[in-house]
Amino acid sequence: MTIPVHHPGEEILLDYAGGSLREPFALVIATHLAFCPCCRTKVAELEAIGGALLEAEEPASLSKECLPALLKRLGTGSAACSSPRKPSPSVFAKLPTEVIRIPEPLRSYLGKPLEQLCWCSAVGGIEQVDIQVGGPPIRTRLLRMKPGGSMPRHYHPAIELNLVLLGGFRDERGSYRRGDLVIDEPTLTHHPIADDGEGCLCLNLAEAPIRFTGLVARLTEALRGA
Amino acid sequence: MPESGASAHRAGGHNFNELIQAVARERSQTAFAVLFEHFAPRLKSYLMRLGCDAGQAEELVQEVMLLVWNRAETFDPVRAGAATWIFTIARNRRIDVIRRERRPEIDFSDPALEPEPVETAERTVETERESARLLAAIAGLPDEQAQLLRLAYFDDKPHSAISVEQGIPLGTVKSRIRLALDRLRKLLREEDA
């Protein structure tokens, strides 16, 4: 497997490590980290700095009963509910190879194999599935293009993130492979074409302005400049 | 063991990595109480910076320390030192409780995870010593950098909002934070070598 070459910027990694990044963005970053040992090292450094900042905090005084009350709760297991969700090994063994290629944390957010998701057609031969994470104004989707498929030339009114999960695509700026994080700045106009072999599956995150909510409007928007 | 203090690197003579491992191995309440005495008051400050009142902060401190107790076995001192590990638990818990959002995290045991290159995997970092050195370096940062760095980690706001609140241009906010991070990271990378 190849290591990604298009990475998130330092600022967004800091927001992820510090915790201020909102959930849909954090999902994209965490999934990129699963593909990218180099960004994992950067996040580990930023978290180490977070740990040192915590230690450098001026200690606040705690009420006297805080520790005794806590000691009584030890071993009650009442924190178990907040442990991270993970598929059990038996569930995992049944997953098709294709699904294993979708790493955590995204795999848990999808909840089922790719082919069991409710794909629907969008403009330009693209298929899409919405993922329930966060809420408006951010829309989080899986987008896929067939091998060699292309999307009509279109214009981005707002910033958009694409994380390539399988296959790859190219546009006027370059080519992108599995694990690459592609940031489409507002006003970008481009014409993406999926790779011939596997096509392209992306995790897409977009601010969804009102004119994108209706199909007709989306179609008009997508075809502008084509 | 903590009581020996032989390998301690801190004032107070405690090696926090070893204390967490003692909690994992022996379910040592003594070790846990020492961790609590050190980290709980700092966690309370951290949570109050994020907007908790004193009561809510103490309730969350208890939850975070309970997670430290329950998850001590998952602590890996090669991956992160004690303070870092506890920071990430507190960060995730406050996102969950205060912001009511899930925290997407990678799963290091996931077979779909791209493995580390060999040289990184073999690298062993003395996280306890590293954390003590970082602490000293933070104390040595210029005030203007240290203050913005704290806001970047503890304010739950993007840089643009920090800029507006502090009345400092966005470019200056970014460059001060970057300067601080560069200085601290340089130290981390020297340690690794």
Three-state SS string over chain B comes to CCCCCCCCCCCCCCCHHHHHHHHHHHCCHHHHHHHHHHHHHHHHHHHHHCCCCHHHHHHHHHHHHHHHHHHHHHCCCCCCCHHHHHHHHHHHHHHHHCCCCCCCCCCCCCCCCCCCCHHHHHCCCCHHHHHHHHHHHHHCCCHHHHHHHHHHHHCCCCHHHHHHHHCCCHHHHHHHHHHHHHHHHHHHHHHHC
For residue A18, give the DSSP letter. H
Give the ipTM: 0.90
Q: Is some CB atom of chain B closer than 8 A to the CB atom of A16?
A: no
Distance CA A27, CA A6 (A): 17
Q: Is some CB atom of chain B closer than 8 A to the CB atom of A51?
A: yes
- Mind listing the pLDDT tens digit for each residue in A119-141? 998 777 789 999 989 777 788 99
Q: CB–CB of A104 and B101 under 8 A?
A: no
Give the three-class secondary structure for A60.
coil
Bridge partners (DSSP) of residue A142 are: A129, A203
Q: CB–CB of A23 and B103 under 8 A?
A: yes
Tell which A residues from 191 to 220 touch B, by Cβ distance under 8 Å: none
Q: What is the pLDDT of residue B12?
A: 64
Looking at the complex, report in whole angstroms how far the Cα of residue A219 sits from the nearest Cα belonging to chain B: 32
- Mind listing the pLDDT tens digit for each residue in B26-44? 999 999 999 999 999 999 9
Chain A residue closest to B111 (CA)?
A100
Chain A hits for B139, Cβ within 8 Å: 56
Q: CB–CB of B42 and A86 under 8 A?
A: no
Q: How many residues does chain A have?
A: 226
User: Among A23, A50, A60, whose Cβ lies nearest the Cβ of B45?
Assistant: A60
User: Half-sphere exposure of A123 toward its Cβ, with a 13 Å CA cutoff?
Assistant: 19
Q: Is some CB atom of chain B closer than 8 A to the CB atom of A44?
A: yes
Q: How confident is the model at residue B160 (pLDDT cuts 50, 70, 90)?
A: confident
User: Among A23, A40, A62, whose Cβ lies nearest the Cβ of B101?
Assistant: A23
CB neighbourhood size of A97 (10 A):
6
Q: What is the pLDDT of residue A208?
A: 56
User: Among A29, A48, A75, whose Cβ lies nearest the Cβ of B81?
Assistant: A48
Structure tokens that stand for A56 in this block: 């450098």
Q: What is the pLDDT of residue A123?
A: 73
- Mind listing the pLDDT tens digit for each residue in A22-58? 999 999 999 999 999 999 999 999 999 999 999 999 9
Distance CA A212, CA A224 (A): 13
Looking at the complex, report in whole angstroms how far the Cα of residue A157 sits from the nearest Cα belonging to chain B: 20
pTM of the predicted protein model? 0.86
Q: How confident is the model at residue A100 (pLDDT cuts 50, 70, 90)?
A: low
Q: Does position B83 have pLDDT exceeding 80, yes or no?
A: yes
- Mind listing the pLDDT tens digit for each residue in B110-120? 888 888 875 55
Q: What is the pLDDT of residue B132?
A: 81
- Residues with Cβ within 8 Å of residue A39, at least 6 apart in sequence: A7, A8, A13, A32, A33
Most distant CA pair in chain A, distance? 69
Which element (helix H / strand E) includes A12?
A: helix A10-18
CB B33 within 8 A of CB B68: no
Q: What is the pLDDT of residue A8?
A: 94
**Angle A3-A96-B113 (CA atoms, 0-180°, nearest 5)?**
25
Q: Is some CB atom of chain B closer than 8 A to the CB atom of A73?
A: yes
B157 against B89, higher pLDDT: B89
